[in-house]
Every structure is written in structure tokens, then in C-alpha cells.
Amino acid sequence: MSAMDSDVQRIDGIDTYPRSSVQRDGVLFFMAQECASRRKFLGVQGDAPGFSHPVHRAGNTRYYALTPANAQTLRNRLPWMQPQPGGTRLSFGFGDRLGLATAGHTLSAWEAKLYPVFAQQSVRENIRTGRTPQQVLDDAMWGLFQTGWSKPWGADADHLKSVEDLAAFVSAGYTFFTVDPGEHVGNPAESASPGELHGQAARLPWADLDQSLESSLKDYLHRPFKSVDLQIRFDEMALLRAVVKYGSAIAHTARMYFELIRLLAGRPFDFEVSVDETNSPTSILEHVYIASELRRLGVAWTSLAPRFPGRFEKGVDFRGDIQLLEGELANHVAIVKAFGTYKLSLHSGSDKFSVYSLLAKHAGNLVHVKTAGTSYLEALRVAAQAEPAFFRGILEYAIERYPTDRATYHVSADLSRMPAAAGMADAELPGLLEDFHARQVMHVTFGSILERFGDHLKRLLVVHEPDYHLGLQAHFQKHLAPLVSYS
């Protein structure tokens, strides 16, 4: 499928998207766009009560605003527009910080044998973009509707840190919940002395863990972990470090999980545990400890994101010893297969082109890859091509904001090593999206950029929608090709 397959058809000043047209119970639903304003509407031909905010009528066809209420009514009418859990199938997360990328994402995923997560946003990203969980899910759904997507898809409430974060995502209809207990990880355990470790271990929330330090040590020190490809025996100091580093994080994860059980009231869901944002890699022993404790506490999780060795920075390829990474990756996969109930998740998965083939080689389909800001960078590429002066303003402000905005990200871009855009011809500006330093600077300053330039950028992307979607299609096919087979 290509963007040309979803070209519009124009009748009386209204464009329609042919691929969106679907008949259900004698009613035709389709996506429409007013030519002059470029505002999009839901077209309904036939008798379909329940929709509100009509904006236009032509014969027996009514056009409705793309409101949250109309999104929910359409999901009720077309059940495949409702996200679903994906389980342990091969999956890929397409983050969209602008709410305009999903139609392009579907072009890359159309023939791929995977479970796509089209709505994906963290609490942090929602704050910086000024969007709500409901807006993120609805924007994704309208993008799917526009291109006629009818296969299962997911919605990921990403990097949830507190119980208070959950309700808004549950209410919106999310099906995938990623818990980030990073604030509860005991990073100092890495360098603590034996005496310090014993003291810190004694202060862990053992009541929440439904165990004592003594019983935990006894269980693990007398129980080696064995799999087909791996055997691990715990020694006391290594075990203590794992307990101190992850004990509170495991207790917090269990609290989040059981609160989700309560809030979802029987609805199925995917649950991911993310420990990738820590100061040091997750060792093989620590992976075993985390998985064993979660299982003991009754947590059923779909995927686990460990911290791998090397640097998984935003918007660029893996940085580090690729052979060391492959060895560790193989061992992590051996643990996943031994437990047999979850898959391995790669966070900051955007543009990690040297890693995807290794994931496919060792983990096969037991993989989830999560991307986010790379779709935003493709939007900036369109801006650079279409309105060079506007893009120069974005770049200038990104450079100004980078020292502040980088604080919450693992990045290493150096402003002094960025190419000087002032000396570049307009035609050369899109090439900045290939430069390591410029790419990261623009990636992590998205909140500041959208606050100042967001309205204009979104209008530009609406005008140049086919270019944006074709760019996304090519970009994500490059991501997916090493991971998936195509039907």
C-alpha cells in the first residue's frame, strides 16, 4: 500500500478518502475533508443515531466534527476501531507526538505480520505536548479510519510512574500499560559495601513483597536458575545487590498491576515492566530475580524492558560494543524463553538499525520495539523541505532550549559539533536530519518547539499530508524490514 492508494476524491468542495469508506448495518462511514479549511470530518450516509456536532449536510449525508464523543460512537459502530491487547505476538510501537502520523504509520505496517501499537504516549510526553490520553487514542483511531485499517491494534499508556497516572488511560480505553518504576530503583546498590547492602536490604518494604529478607536469601541461594542455554547460581553479594536495586521497584510494580486489575474490572490488557531507565545495565541475574519475584507476587506481565549495555539514545543508532550487546541479548532471551510467558521489549527503539537484526536472530517474534520521537523528526524533515525559513526558526530555538530540555533524556549531542545551518543552502537543510548532533537536539526539544511553533507545524503537515505519510512509510519500513515477514 502507498499513500497514493488513499488519495482524496473531491465532490462539491469536500474531499473524501476512499479507503476510509466502510458499510456497516446499512450505513456508510467515511473520512472527509473540507477543501478550503482542510478540516477533517466524519461522513455518515444513512440513518446512524448517536453522533453529535453536525457541521454540514448534503442530501442524506451528514458530516460530523471529530470529537471524542463521535470517536466513541464510531468505535461502538465499528468494533475494530477499538484497541485490543496483543499478548506475546511480535509488536511495534509507533509514537506520534503531533497526532497526525498514524495514517502514515499504517502504510508501513499494512503487509507486516505484527501487532502494531498505534496510540502510544507517556505521561511526560503528554505534558510536553499538551495532549490528553483520550486525544492521543482518538487521533490514532481517526488516522486508522482514514486509511481503512481493520486489523487488531493497540494503545500503550507509556512510562506510567504512579497509581494516580492510571485512571485517565483506563477511562480512555487503553489496552497496554507500561509501568516505569525507575524512581524506586536503588541505583546506589551498584557501589555499596556489604554492610551498606545489608542495611539497605533490611529497610525494603518486605510486607509489600510478602516475604522477609531471610526467606528471600534462602530461596535464591539454594535454587540455581537453569534453562536450555543458561545456568545461573546466585551468590550472596550479587543477590543482595539485586534485592536492594530492584526490591522496591518490584513492590511498586505489583501495586500498579493490582490497581489496574481493579480499575479495568475484568477487561484484558497487556502489562509491560520497564527498568531500562536505570544507571547501570540489568544483569542476567537481576533479570531472573525480577521475573521470579513478579511471578511469585502474582503479576502477569506481557513484556519486560531491561537496561541493555551500551547507549540507547534518542533518535540515533546504538552506541557501544555491538558484540557485547549481542551476547547479553542472547542471555536475556534465554531467560525469557525459560519463563515462557512474556517477550523482550526494546525502549528508545527508534533508529536502532544495527540492533533489529540481532533481535530477530535471537528472540524471533518474542519482541516489542518502542519508538516515539522519530515520527516527529520526519515531520521536521517535511518542514525543512516545504518551508526552509520556518525550519531555520525551529532549529535556532531548539539549539537555545537544548541545555535545559536534555535534562530528562539520555543523549550526548554536542552543540559545538552541529553543522552551521546559517551557511547551508535551503536544499541542504533536510540533511540535518541525518546528523547525529542536530538530530538529537531537535528530538529532545520537541516540547519547547511545539509550544512555540506547534500550530504552524501542524498546519504545514496538513497541507503536505501525502509527503509526510510517504516519508513515514519509507522510514518505518526501514525499521520493520529486519524484524518482520510480510504477507
Are the C-beta atoms of residues 227 and 336 closer than 8 Å to each other?
no
CA distance 18 to 7: 7
Nearest CA to 465 out of 211, 172, 101 is that of 101
Identify the pLDDT of residue 388: 98
CA distance 380 to 180: 29
Element (H, E) at 367: strand 367-371
HSE-up of residue 316 (Cα within 13 Å, Cβ side): 25
Nearest CA to 71 out of 19, 3, 145 is that of 145
The string of pLDDT tens digits covering residues 383-438 is: 999 999 999 999 999 999 999 999 988 899 999 999 999 999 999 999 999 999 99
The string of pLDDT tens digits covering residues 134-158 is: 999 999 999 999 999 999 999 999 9
Neighbours of 487 (CB within 10 A): 7
CA distance 443 to 474: 19
C-alpha cell at 121: 504516549
Residues 6+ apart with CB under 8 A from 10: 16, 35
Asked if 158 is an active-site residue, the reply is yes
Identity at 337, one-letter amino acid code:
K
Domain locations in the chain?
Answer: 3-65
Residues 6+ apart with CB under 8 A from 256: 160, 163, 166, 177, 179, 181
Mean predicted lDDT score pLDDT of the chain: 95
Lowest mean pLDDT among 17-31, 225-239, 264-278, 284-298: 225-239
CA 115 to chain centroid: 13
The string of pLDDT tens digits covering residues 106-121 is: 999 999 999 999 999 9
Percent of the chain having pLDDT more than 70?
97
What 8-state DSSP symbol labels residue 417? G
- From its phi and psi, is residue 427 left (phi > 0), alpha (psi between -120 and 50) or beta? alpha
Confidence of residue 11 (pLDDT cuts 50, 70, 90): low
Max CA separation in the chain (angstroms): 80
Residue 32: phi and psi, rounded to 5, are -130, 160
CA distance 217 to 242: 11
Identify the pLDDT of residue 227: 84
Identity at 271, one-letter amino acid code:
F
Give the SS3 label for residue 41.
Answer: strand
- Exposure of 171 by Cβ count < 10 A (0-12 exposed, 13-18 middle, 19+ buried)? exposed
Radius of gyration of the chain from its Cα atoms, rounded to whole angstroms? 24
C-alpha cell at 99: 497526532
Give the global pTM: 0.95
CA distance 412 to 214: 42
Alpha carbon distances (Å) from 6 to 204, 435, 462 = 56, 32, 15
CA distance 414 to 313: 13
Catalytic one among 96, 125, 139, 158? 158
CA distance 22 to 59: 19
Alpha carbon distances (Å) from 246 to 62, 187, 290, 362, 388 = 56, 9, 7, 26, 48
Identify the pLDDT of residue 9: 65
CA distance 44 to 148: 15
The DSSP bridge pattern shows strands 231-232 and 176-179 to be unpaired
What sign results for the dihedral spanned by CA atoms 307, 308, 309, 313?
Answer: negative
The string of pLDDT tens digits covering residues 299-344 is: 999 999 999 999 999 999 999 999 999 999 999 999 999 999 999 9
Catalytic one among 125, 156, 272, 405? 272
CA distance 30 to 22: 7
| Strand ranges of the sheet holding 54-58, from the earlier edge strand across to the other edge | 9-11, 14-24, 27-34, 40-45, 61-65, 54-58
CA distance 413 to 391: 19
Residues 6+ apart with CB under 8 A from 152: 80, 84, 86, 115
Please, which residues bridge with residue 50 across strands? Answer: none
